[in-house]
């Protein structure tokens, strides 16, 4: 564990730990990293993630493109949704 400005950083090591933390399967988490920018570290060829960075990523709504017909378009007054759909 490292310390940064007095706050404890929890490092998740490996795809299984990251997937378990997010409540998803390993392949889903790998796809989130590849296609949606899930913040993953690769120290010395390994895979790791910082818990607080994952929390920020999940809390940020995915980008939307309005084409007038887009089924996922949100009106500005609607509450932002999480990037990860609920089970």
* pLDDT tens by residue, 27-55: 999 999 988 889 999 988 899 999 999 99
Backbone dihedral region of 24: left (phi > 0), alpha (psi from -120 to 50 degrees) or beta? beta
pLDDT of residue 58: 92
Q: Would residue 81 count as lying in a domain?
A: no
- Tokens read off for 29: 């988490």
pLDDT of residue 60: 87
pLDDT of residue 1: 40
Q: Would residue 73 count as lying in a domain?
A: no
Q: The domain that contains 13 carries what CATH number?
A: 1.10.10
4 sits in which H/E element: strand 2-4
Taking the whole predicted model, whether its pTM rises above 0.85 is answered as no
Task: Please list, residue by residue across 32-56, b when 16 or more beta carbons sit within 10 angstroms of its beta carbon and e when fewer do.
Answer: bbeeeebebeeeeeebbbbeeebee
| Domain residue limits at 16 | 2-59
Q: Would residue 33 count as lying in a domain?
A: yes
Which tops the pLDDT comparison, 34 or 78? 34
């Amino acid at each position: 564990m490292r310390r940064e400005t007095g706050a404890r950083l929890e490092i998740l090591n490996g795809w299984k730990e990251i997937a378990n933390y997010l409540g998803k399967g390993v392949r889903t988490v790998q796809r989130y990293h590849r296609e949606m920018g899930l913040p993953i570290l690769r120290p010395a060829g390994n895979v790791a993630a910082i818990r607080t960075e994952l929390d920020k990523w999940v809390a940020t709504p995915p980008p939307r493109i309005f084409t007038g017909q887009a089924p996922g378009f949100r009106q500005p007054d609607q509450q932002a949704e999480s990037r990860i759909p609920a089970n």
